[in-house]
Chains A and B, each alone.
Chain A
Amino acid sequence: MTRARWIPLAVFGLLAVLLAAGVWLSRKPNREALPSPLIGKPAPEFALPSLHQPDRIVRATDLRGAPYVLNVWGSWCPACREEHPVITRFAETKRVRVIGYDFKDARDDALRWLEQFGNPYWLVVADEAGNTAIDFGIYGAPETYLIDAGGRIRWKHVGPLTDAIIADELLPQLKALETERGA
């Protein structure tokens, strides 16, 4: 009789734990970001024109040999403007090539945007139609990928980059890549 009395409290306790777990699991500010199923898989074999020289086609194979960071942006994307100084600072450290992926953007708008805010990219490829982006699992901007020397996707971040994310997530991944190659 007295044992049964504790059941409602136990059920309440269980529910409280469940709800607290739910709250803790959604603590990240960008909880709508979809985790990429492509981590560890080879990046799509893309062939996209360079933004500045449209008759030059850049292929995924051309970029092999060293890791690179692929930053998806567009002149229509306000968060990309927020992210821009962070990308610029990171690109200036010349730690790794930072390649721009101009997503669903008109060429003139993109060129004007880069002229206005500065061009931190080693190279900018243009995906105006957005078909290659589907292969990457890109669904908006800004998004950033870390791709290794062999062409595998190692890390993806959805949303604007911050110095903290670069320090806490990107740089350790990069270090891990470099030790791999060294070993």
Chain B
Amino acid sequence: MVRKLLLVLLTAMLVIGAATAQVADRRPLQFRDAAEEARFRDLTHELRCVMCQNQSIADSEALIAVDLRREILQLMREGRSDDEIRRFLVDRYGQFVLYKPQVEPSTWLLWFGPVLVLLAGGGVVWHVVRDRARNRGDVPVATDDGGEW
């Protein structure tokens, strides 16, 4: 009697759970051959999941990522090139979807900033070292006076 009640309760929970879920097609994607799978994997690893923004489209289990993976495979099969697929996504979701943003005036600071900072830092170090080297004659060199150190 108790077991039957539990069974009814469990079934009810399952039904209610499903009733408030998004319509999801989480069937795993079928690839035609290894080359297609390799291309798909490379492409989806370079693209950011727009919902879980710290994961790639390849890794994310968010529903939009599942949908986008299917869409990308569809586009690949339609004969679109990798660039065309990237453009397709950038047109709809913006530059943020690419892990490698395009090098254009709006992203110059992003691409070249670190190098500039490194050069500036290097310049400062060079200056300091040169000044120290120039002044070295004024500073007496410590002599070995037989101490512990």
Query: What residues make up the interface of A, taking CB atoms closer than 8 Å to B?
Result: 4, 7, 32, 34-38, 74-76, 104-106, 109, 128-131, 134-137, 139-140
Bound complex: CA A129 to CA B94 (Å):
22
28 residue pairs of the A-B complex, CB under 8 angstroms, read A7-B124, A34-B50, A34-B94, A34-B96, A37-B92, A37-B93, A37-B94, A38-B91, A38-B92, A74-B22, A76-B21, A104-B23, A105-B22, A105-B23, A106-B19, A109-B19, A130-B23, A130-B64, A130-B67, A131-B71, A134-B68, A134-B71, A134-B92, A135-B92, A136-B92, A139-B50, A139-B51, A139-B64
B35 lies within 8 A of chain A by Cβ: no
Contact between chains at A104 and B22 (CB < 8 Å): yes
Q: A7-B124, A75-B20, A104-B22 are in contact. List 12 more A-B contacts (CB 8 A).
A: A35-B94, A37-B93, A38-B91, A104-B23, A104-B24, A109-B20, A129-B25, A130-B67, A131-B67, A137-B92, A139-B50, A140-B64
Bound complex: CA A135 to CA B89 (Å):
9
Bound complex: CA A104 to CA B70 (Å):
15
Query: What residues make up the interface of B, taking CB atoms closer than 8 Å to A?
Result: 19-25, 50-51, 53, 63-64, 67-68, 71, 90-96, 124, 131
